[in-house]
Structure 1
């Protein structure tokens, strides 16, 4: 009986530690954004907000580019909880945009990804000489975002989900063994 109790307590401790470790090892990925991935916005955009699914550190960065690969200047960045807010120097005119981000999670692991949106702002009726927004030509190395970033996100989410499934299976097995041994003990 003492060995059963010791085994049962040990299994519960291991289960508890596995559950806690999967919580603390969660990497930070963009959960939602404004504008959202794939969204068409009907007004100019001068602020982009990314909400991460876990804590992020101030080393988190973002690069905003248009369909031609031109980079738009970021004026300032804010961190509010799990939100990373990017304020652009100039509003984005109509066009297709990509936001490539790199995050340093609170767990110390780096993640990266990207999302896209379209600005379809109505032209003002007044004829005003428009200034081109300040565009920075990107170096080839800065522009390149690994194609595996999306695969990494999917793999990470699968890893997190499989950890949860394993934890649930272990919990069911522990309860099943406990019921089995308790019912066997009561018959004796």
Structure 2
């Protein structure tokens, strides 16, 4: 069972539908006990970093996610959910994240239109089971004004370009992030979600 964490923000139903379409059992829940029983966790997200962290802490979900991460359970953060996995964000202030991965979330400093919205292509950096069947140059759907800045370059499986190198898919062991919306990214997004589901032991 894949637990999709409901903390008041996020594209929950479309993520749930995508997993069920692929044949995986998934459940939208805000109950830490259900999350503890799950085989994997998905942290979706749309909106502001600060508000999302406050909701996670208020409902004891932040601690629940951290404890499951320590048990080596697979965790996937999507869009804002990926950013929450990191140490800190500078979105409208300076806010502490879950700290499961090393790096900070910073604003685009670019002449290009912000937010970075629409289809952009993936550039593969490393082979990994998560990216199985994904070719260089496949397109996925982004909506974000902030991006990951990290020295942990070996965690970055795919980049995209938007004036700067933008980490698009990251993985460190059981902790995985996708800056785009795989559930809105057609066949490429479904392949990535299927690969994630197949990583579950």
User: What is the TM-score of this pair, normalised by structure 1?
Assistant: 0.24
Q: Which has the higher contact order (CA 8 A, sep 6+)?
A: 1
